[in-house]
Structure 1
Amino acid sequence: MDGAPPHPSHPASGVKAPPSPRVALPVMCHRWAHITFLHWRYPVEAVRGLVPDELAVETMDGSAWVGVTPFLMEDVRVPGLPAVPWLSAFPETNCRTYVRDARGRSGVWFLSLDAGRLPAVLGGRSGYGLPYHWSDMSVRIDRRRRRYRCRRRWPGTLGVRCDAEAEVGGVLREDEQDELAHFLTARHRLFTRVAGRLAAAEVEHPPWPLQHVELTALDQDLLRAAGLPDPAGPPLLHASPGVDVRVGMWSW
């Protein structure tokens, strides 16, 4: 299962993922599990107005890229403290694009983040300045099939949705992992605004064990709610069983 037709101008395969930074003093640890990456190419001008002026829209293969990533957050905890069962596992769906700052550092700019736990939403909005939304969400895993559901509650437009079903296939061989796959998935820095200033946090995780995936159903208006036009075609797809993550402190 290849998930999407090969892109006619993908860079050469067999490219190594960029190394992860070492986050010595994490402020948060968790696992991103059962993730499906859906990515669409966009003209830079469609994305430019959604990104702060201090950041450049990063391109690959001549385009900006916007991703929707449904997954499960698991084992969410503060370092040194045990996970709390109800608070430590919940669905999340992110809408994101890729940027570079004035120092040449690549990272993620989130257009929205939907989470199924209100405390996580409040913490993400107040502590990280991220555009979190509280949503009615579920993730169901049945062997190779994944079913994601999201309906936004607060804030913003009630009912913004992202429902997707996917069938996961085999692991990508090393020679199938091209530069575009790593560009879209191997991201180790996120940007946001804290107290009105652009801030960045490093994110440590091992290389994604990427899998083939076929999208069998998709009903979403997250892209439109983020201020983007509808995409021109089907998404480029990747999946992964997940990675363990350590998030560092903000820096300016």
Structure 2
Amino acid sequence: MKQTWSEAVILHWRLPASTAATFMPPGVEPDVFDGSTWVGLIGFHMSAVRLGRVLPVPHVGSFVEVNVRLYSRGADGSRGIVFLSLDAPRLPVVLAARALKIPYVWSRCRSTGTDGPAPVCGYEVERRDGQPASRFVVRPDLSVQADDELSLELTARFGMHTRFAGRTFFLPVSHRPWPLHPAELVHLDDGLLGAAGLEVAGPPESVLFSPGVDTVFGRPWAMPAP
């Protein structure tokens, strides 16, 4: 499967590894870098989805997604993401993903932003079950590249660890390095992290923006039993 992820707003907070460990599937532990593990709140627009080499999915495969993620390392050395939630407005996508035990939530999601000399980009989520919503907006500095080690570590993730049918699997994802820009946090009112069972204090330590990347999903493999 191929996808394009664009207009990504990427927020991160530090998190104790002991807290993140409670969410890891068997055989996987929190990935620690720069002295801690991290939780991310990520919004982007998904488009250009293709199944296999030629089959496009024009409507169902184009939507805004907002996810809450942790960072993981498998016993086989694989480094990836553990998703705590993925909010999306396309019900067929949500149902298909949940059948594979990927924690999608059917929500109203939309992008917000303005053009002009100082453009902003953001995302809004309204959950249909009445749980806390989320709204976050940033102002990217497109004249500067964010190429520091921390920014690269937080975004160079090429797969997902997940639990399915009693086993832990790794789903590889290939893409070029994100083109990254530092961003200023303009607004944040989030309930998604709390709904996922996490508490963070203060504003995010890392605030990034990316125009986007093209991605290719590979064949998943089963992790060795712990």
TM-score, normalised by the number of residues in structure 2:
0.91
Q: Which runs of 5+ in 1 are unaligned?
A: 1-27
Task: Please tell me whether residue 99 in structure 1 is matched to residue 72 in structure 2.
Answer: yes
The aligned counterpart of 1:238 is 208
Question: Quick one: higher RCO (CA 8 Å, sep 6+), 1 or 2?
Answer: 1
Task: Please tell me whether residue 40 in structure 1 is matched to residue 13 in structure 2.
Answer: yes
Cα pair distance change 1:171/1:189, threshold 3 Å: farther
Within 5 Å, which residues of 2 pair with 1:69-88?
A: 69-88=42-61
How many residue pairs get matched? 218
CA drift at 1:56:
1.0
CA drift at 1:171:
4.8
Q: Could you tell me how far apart the structure 2 residues matched to 1:181 and 1:86 are? A: 32
Q: What RMSD over aligned residues (CA atoms) do the two structures have, in Å?
A: 1.5
Q: Could you tell me how far apart the structure 1 residues matched to 2:58 and 2:37 are? A: 38
Q: Could you tell me how far apart the structure 2 residues matched to 1:129 and 1:248 are? A: 18
TM-score, normalised by the number of residues in structure 1:
0.82
Task: Please tell me whether residue 147 in structure 1 is matched to residue 122 in structure 2.
Answer: yes
The aligned counterpart of 1:129 is 101
Q: Could you tell me how far apart the structure 1 residues matched to 2:26 and 2:179 are? A: 34
The structure where strand makes up a greater share of residues is 2
Task: Please tell me whether residue 66 in structure 1 is matched to residue 39 in structure 2.
Answer: yes
- Amino acid of the residue matched to residue 132 of structure 2? V
Q: Which runs of 5+ in 2 are unaligned?
A: none
C-alpha offsets along residues 128-185 of structure 1, whole Å, 9 cap, x if unaligned? Answer: 42101110111134322213110122xxx53331111111212544xx5122111100
Runs of 4+ residues deviating >4 angstroms: none
Name the % identity.
Answer: 39
Q: Does the Cα contact within 8 Å between 2:43 and 2:122 map onto a contact in 1?
A: no
**Of the candidates 170, 173, 176, which is equivalent to residue 203 of structure 1?**
173
CA drift at 1:233:
2.2
